[in-house]
């Protein structure tokens, strides 16, 4: 495309906007509200995801208790099996003495002194790199000789996973619905712009303007609506999140357990990218639907 054409298209897009100022502002506002609503859902989603990942991470620890009578050779053999498993990310050995010290804190020094530490089983705290492998690993270790017990909170893990997935699906569906709403609104705005430019478009066609030259300004207009809507909603969402984060000092632990908020820079970066992409794609898609329907050649 010639530079003069690009200039013409940009000027035409701008003129279209100026010609329908009120409509343009209304569209930006509606897109902004929609993206903002989606943003709220997104922020929730990210925080749920962030915390469920953290929680799941914690739950991925499996404790393998070895019988108290096990000698050093047996312990080394078990350790070898654990360390050589490709799904094991890390493992920590907890000796009888370390278990004794930990138990003293739990049940009291006097009790533990009387009981001694010889009856306590040494253990390995294992962290897996793959959640789905947990049950297989537990079964594998349990079936080994000299193993006293394998502890793994599978139920709580699965429940947390289910909750996390449910929230993700609900939020995803909500985001999709809001997307359709935005699409409809942008499409409607472009439709009205197309209607008000009908005479101009007819003349352009008679004169011999190419379809691209006729349609691109409308696409740009849609993209611009989406872009501006995204920028404004990003600013609002960014300030809002910053305010909440600062107010809560990055954690909801005072209110609901261990919930930590996603750090501000990480959140802003994701919001900026997602909002921009979402806004522009919505704008261009909305334009596409309106043009396809109301600007037939």
Partner 1 sequence: MIDFENVSMIYRSGTEALHGISFHVDPGEFVFITGKSGSGKSTIIKLLMREEKPTAGDIFVNGYDLYNLSRYDLPHYRRRLGVVFQDCRLLMNKTVYQNIEFAMEVVGESNRTIKQVVPKLLHMVDLVGKEKAFPDELAGGEQARVALARAIANNPDILIADEPTGNLDPKTSTEIIDLLYKVNQLGTTVLVVTHDTKIVDRLQQRVIRLKAGNIISDTEGSIYEDETCEY
What is the contact surface with partner 1 in residues (CB under 8 A)?
2, 4-5, 8, 19, 199-200, 202-211, 213, 297
CB of 215 to partner 1, least distance (A): 12
Residue (1 or 173) nearer to partner 1, CB: 1
Residue (181 or 209) nearer to partner 1, CB: 209
CB of 3 to partner 1, least distance (A): 9
CB of 189 to partner 1, least distance (A): 19
DSSP-H helix ranges across the chain: 3-19, 21-59, 72-83, 96-107, 109-115, 134-142, 154-196, 198-207, 211-248, 264-294
Identify whether the C-beta of residue 264 lies closer than 8 Å to the C-beta of residue 178: no
Residue (232 or 291) nearer to partner 1, CB: 291
CA angle 212, 216, 218 (to 5 degrees): 135
CB of 203 to partner 1, least distance (A): 6
Dihedral (Cα; 55, 56, 59, 61), 10-degree rounding: -120
Which strands make up the sheet holding 123-128, listed edge to edge? 88-94, 123-128, 61-66, 147-151
CB of 4 to partner 1, least distance (A): 5
Q: For 158, phi and psi rounded to 5 degrees?
A: -65, -40
Identify whether the C-beta of residue 88 lies closer than 8 Å to the C-beta of residue 60: no
Q: Rounded to an integer, what distance in angstroms lies between the CA atom of residue 152 and that of residue 99?
A: 18
Q: Rounded to an integer, what distance in angstroms lies between the CA atom of residue 287 and that of residue 293?
A: 10
Residue (210 or 266) nearer to partner 1, CB: 210
CB of 288 to partner 1, least distance (A): 18
Number of other CB atoms surrounding residue 287 within 10 Å: 30
CB of 171 to partner 1, least distance (A): 43
Residue (210 or 242) nearer to partner 1, CB: 210
Residue (164 or 221) nearer to partner 1, CB: 221
- Beta-bridged to residue 90, according to DSSP, are 127
Describe the crossing of helices 3-19 and 211-248 by its angle, rounded to 10 degrees.
60
Residue (8 or 50) nearer to partner 1, CB: 8
Identify whether the C-beta of residue 225 lies closer than 8 Å to the C-beta of residue 16: no
């Amino acid at each position: 495309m010639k530079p003069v054409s690009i200039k013409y298209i940009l000027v035409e897009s701008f003129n279209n906007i100026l010609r329908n100022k009120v409509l343009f502002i209304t569209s930006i506002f509606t897109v902004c509200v929609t993206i903002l609503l989606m943003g709220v859902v997104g922020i929730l989603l990210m925080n749920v995801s962030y915390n469920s990942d953290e929680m799941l991470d914690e739950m991925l620890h499996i404790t393998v208790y070895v019988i108290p009578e096990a000698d050093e050779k047996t312990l080394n053999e078990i350790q070898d099996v654990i360390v050589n498993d490709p799904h094991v990310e890390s493992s920590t050995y907890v000796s009888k003495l370390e278990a004794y010290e930990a138990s003293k804190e739990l049940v009291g020094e006097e009790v533990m002194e009387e009981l001694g530490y010889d009856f306590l089983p040494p253990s390995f705290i294992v962290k897996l790199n793959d959640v789905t492998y947990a049950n297989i690993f537990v079964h594998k270790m349990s079936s080994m000789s000299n193993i006293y017990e394998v502890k793994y909170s599978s139920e709580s893990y699965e429940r947390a996973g289910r909750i996390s997935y449910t929230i993700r699906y609900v939020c995803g569906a909500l985001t999709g619905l809001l997307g359709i709403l935005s699409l409809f609104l942008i499409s409607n705005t472009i439709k009205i712009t197309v209607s008000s430019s009908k005479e101009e478009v007819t003349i352009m066609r008679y004169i011999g303007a190419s379809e691209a030259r006729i349609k691109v300004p409308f696409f740009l207009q849609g993209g611009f609506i989406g872009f501006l809507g995204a920028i404004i909603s990003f600013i609002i969402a960014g300030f809002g999140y910053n305010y909440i984060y600062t107010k809560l000092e990055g954690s909801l632990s005072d209110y609901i357990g261990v919930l930590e908020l996603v750090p501000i820079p990480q959140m802003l970066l994701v919001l900026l990218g997602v909002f921009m992409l979402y806004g522009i794609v919505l704008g261009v898609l909305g334009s596409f639907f309106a043009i396809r329907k109301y600007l037939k050649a």
